[in-house]
Structure 1
């Protein structure tokens, strides 16, 4: 009996190459034997002496690993487990290899077996009988995997390990004629990380001398078997990833045929993957041809670029968010069902539209009521003026109160109409370039008598040169009038209200708390210095505005304890300024005063 061990190390080291992303590289398990080694092998195998016949020829090259092998090693068993194909039914890919092995050796029996902890499983066989598993007491391959290379037994009847094996003695014959095993040749199946998990082998009922060339070819078949396992393990690895992702996924080839569909895609497409794979996508879903899906997928394929989009698919009454990517053989598609989000967005939009419609209806109602009030209020005001001219004594005071209340109601009605108009998608405000100084001058002149009556000092400070801005002059005057009137009404006697105007890039005039903010908040000064705008400042040294009112100061009907207006003035002022593409900012410190900063677009002065 001759046992051949070809250990693959050193210069011609034969190992299974590392895999990279499922790609399988050409590999072999052991090197081509050197001529000297083959000569030794042939000499031993042809010898007729018992000593020579029982000799062991080892081709141990450099860097040979330890010969220790533990079939129950947990790491080896874990390596075996990761190849799930080991435990699956026979497959044609492995059956081809056993048929080749049998033809190569002209042998009646060939196996691919895997060695577990205490059992041998048959993955593929060429045999009249193919037991799915056997115990180690009957297994040749369990001895093979303990070797570091091929194992060849010329005549098992002369090998003490197998002489009384029922498979050898004929008690469990391998052929219908009742003959047992004599010849065995096997090569371990060695994984890329070096674990021997099984073998590919051939058996014959006649003793025979080993052929080194055929042994090398059997080793190549072993390498192919491991390649197949690695390919399937890599496929399962990526399949596991695709099955575990939260997105649905499918792939189609260049002919638009489904090649893969994951479980989530089955659920959202409401089709079984076995039904889809191998089917043309447009035949499976003809309703998608006239939708965005067809054009977008065609873009991916024709322009070799990825796309992402959201589209509604009526046959499934569903919205999908899709990411499609090109690859060499077709395109891959990741998608998710966003129907609930779309329904929520639609409901939100409908609610928003309903609210806007209700607000517009309310605004029209308020504007109508305010407009209708103007006529009777005008009559009351006119009649009270006539009555005051005829009345005397205490009656005159009552008439003045009536007139004051009427004027306040007229102001409120006007503000309500203005606010309704501004908030009801009215046409854009017509603006033009004008000199801001004239607008401020007119506003201040109209309020001077009111300031004198309240014993408040009112002055303005405007630059001597023209200061042009793009505004609606009358609306800007109303804003300044409102801000100055408010400042006076909240001031004490002997207080001061000032109106400034300057290009916004210049430093602002001192305002309440300015010194402290400029020292401790470096960005505060910059917030009031801008480019391309004109800044109008209305400030006072009155009581200031409580902090709790500042945040909602421009909301309707918000006013301080001393306010006597409608509470709509600042709201209208802000709406008017924003309609002119401007902005209004307030700074206030209790006990120090308040400043309003109005920013409007500066007019571009042509260069001469």
Structure 2
């Protein structure tokens, strides 16, 4: 090979002497735009054209043989030269000094030398080495990631599959590389992943996809990056994440339903509920009842309209929500607003489960309960008063009756007998009648309060009934010093209960004689269309306006029972009977000017 590196030309770079036939060829050699070298058949480098000198960085005068080949490539160069001399295509890549060149050798027919074309591949070789290194590093990186990765070329063939991708696809990388994706996985055709790959390649836009893949029964997330040469696809199994998300969604939906149910329950509670923030007293939530009935109070806009149990008006500092927010525990705190009465109870709920601490206030409207308590208290008072009055009212006729019986016994023993007995028996009859009336009143109270007041309606001439009752009461009226003035329209007929209307007439007329004693009593009956009207008037003590409703309640009267006897049941019984018959009763009166009771009745049964 030493001879191959030898240069015999005394002027380096100069072309050897040429024959007349070779001169044009050598002229083209010198001016060729590519790097060319002339090598003699014995391996001696004869000349380099300017392009070759620039390639090999050889200056004129330097030994040309030093630029071509190295000791390690000697045998390969000699073999290539011999093949070229025999008319075969020969060449290779060798280092020529500091440059890597791709050399092609060709011997012209009958030529005295071999032409070597030189192509500098130093940078290309370096780029290939860098690329191989980068590919190796990328492959190493892809093997380290837990995601699956595959690369597809433009013909849908696998060019790279990392171990994660092979595991997810159930194959080895060797089983997939070079294979067509839809040949290996035909069941994927038409699936969302197939469509996304097609779309990414067609639009050259990255795609992200989260879909269920039925053939594998798993959820996958894909990130697809296209290029003109194919697709790079990162994918990983997110089945557990999706299932967890679905479970969370189901739990959230259940929680939402529970929250909605609790909110609905809160809204339907018959108690006003309010939630306030501790410290500030800020209103957080009020159910429908609280918002409707306590809105101004809870928002602190009208505290002056409310009073505490002791009657003192509330101030912004004494509002129940403010007191509860300060840490006070409200236990059946009483409040009043107009006629309504409320009881407030509070509790503090500690923070937890993602919620801050909260004060809960419950407002219970106890207006009806208070009224019931007051009614019960009145009933107790009425009972005690009734017992007192009853004992007095029953004792009087019983005492008189006892005395009359004692005298009757004395008379019976005397010789002047029967006539005196009859005279003595009359007071006894009156006492018994009074007792009967008292007992009947008590029975009526029992029947009315138990709802057992039975009506026996019939066609009744109220005009005739009124005249009969007034005739029967003529003597008691005369004894009371009450002149009777009656104006009774004829034939006032209706469908009524005879005994009960008789009771109404007796109660109203005897009431007039009691409170208007010594003065006239007037009774007027007439009819107008479908209604009958009865007026019973006296000229007695009269009734104050504030007492005119109360006198129709049981055991009530406008004056003290010490001055006027009776149970205080007469007017109450009148009202109950009249209203049961579908009518109404009212009073017109002023103190000292007497009283007129007006009864209106429907003539036909409703």
Q: Give the TM-score normalised by the residue count of structure 2.
A: 0.35
| Higher-RCO chain (CA-CA 8 Å, sequence separation at least 6) | 1
Larger radius of gyration: 2
- TM-score for the superposition, normalised by structure 1: 0.35
